[in-house]
Amino acid sequence: MTEPFTQAPGERKVLTADESATGRLDSWLAAALDGTFSRNRIQALIKEGSVTVNGTAVREVRHKVAPGDTIELTVPEPEAAVPLPEDIPLEIVFEDDDIIVIAKPAGLVVHPGAGNRSGTLVNALLHHCGGSLSGIGGVKRPGIVHRLDKNTSGVMVVAKNDFAHNRLAEQFADHGRSGPLNRAYLALVWGRPEQLRGTIDAPLGRSGADRTKRSVHRTERPDSRHAITHYEVRDRYGEAGGADAVASLVECRLETGRTHQIRAHMQHIGHPLIGDPEYGGAFRTKVNKLPEPAAAAVGRLDRQGLHAYLLQFAHPRDNRTLRFEAPVPADMASVIEALSMI
């Protein structure tokens, strides 16, 4: 154990686990640091990558500490209380006084959060729009009406004032039941769904193994949310496109908008997204069974093969129906082309 100490931002603290060390990393650090940080603060630092064990960053708070482990903690510099404008290029599809529609690239986080304090879409929007963004989403999410995962590309709409935010939020909450809202995605999945067209109606909640993931809950739980995805197979690759197809291109339309909905639902029916490390890890070895250049193209895809290609909604000011489509980005297009040659 160590004597109490005060650690300044940017300072590193190196600890060595003694022969009696055991238990979870967060618990061990809380005891070793003798109350310098709260348990919650330590967990946040671990998840942000500020803790290494034997030289390797560990982001799992349940990681087991072993005798002799060298554990290094670095307290990051304090972050700004609110996001700052950053000159990040945006692909603007449409813009007027009320809304801005952008084609988000894969790799761009929508709003600041743990581990992503800057370099987000919000930072880019603050630079582009100045003070005109809606404040309803709060200081960390100004103008954000809906979101896409960091590694999902595609079309998004952002509100530039509170009036537009309220009107758009109503449409997204209604899920298109009484209006023109429509959201469609193209997903590259392993195998071929047994039914070429179908609906996945399965509630989603936090996964017991990893709280950042979602899984289907067959029984009612407090965190379970109703989730419906409609899908249609657009193309099939390998084995003449039959039941033994290696992969498929699937169009998914959301009736609800839950976190990781398409990724979790496609995994649930046995066809996880190609390139998805969180929901498709069990299918990773399938790449080795692909012929070249398909294997090489899939290997270069460093994110889930998911693209929000279509967004349709009523303009918040005059109610006219707007429809926007974003072409499949180059990384997914390369995989589709290679798979088509099988």
Mean pLDDT by 10 residues, the chain (342 residues): 46 86 90 78 86 92 93 75 90 97 97 83 94 84 93 97 94 93 97 95 85 80 87 92 88 94 97 95 86 93 97 98 97 97 90
- Domain of 332, CATH number, reads 3.30.2350.10
As a whole number of angstroms, the distance between CA 215 and CA 209 comes to 10
Residue 201 and residue 130 share a domain: no
Residue 201 and residue 321 share a domain: yes
Residue 154 and residue 45 share a domain: no
Asked if the structure places residue 86 within a domain, the reply is: no
pLDDT single digits (tens) 292-315? 899 999 999 999 999 999 999 999
Active site residue 149: yes
Residue 194, C-beta contacts closer than 8 angstroms, at least 6 positions apart: 243
Percent helix / strand / coil, the chain, rounded to 5: 25, 25, 50
Note the pLDDT of residue 32.
87
Note the pLDDT of residue 70.
95
Which residue matches tokens 């707007």? 322
Per DSSP, the three-state class of 219 is coil
Note the pLDDT of residue 221.
72
* Candidates 26, 98, 149, 331; catalytic one: 149
Q: Are 2 and 15 in contact (CB under 8 A)?
A: yes
Note the pLDDT of residue 242.
77
As a whole number of angstroms, the distance between CA 150 and CA 105 comes to 9
Measured CA angle at 304 (ends 56, 140), to 5 deg: 75
Residue 263 and residue 232 share a domain: yes
Note the pLDDT of residue 2.
39
Asked if the structure places residue 216 within a domain, the reply is: yes
Residue type, 270: G
Residue type, 235: D
Tokens for 218, please give them. 């067959």
As a whole number of angstroms, the distance between CA 129 and CA 144 comes to 13
Note the pLDDT of residue 304.
97
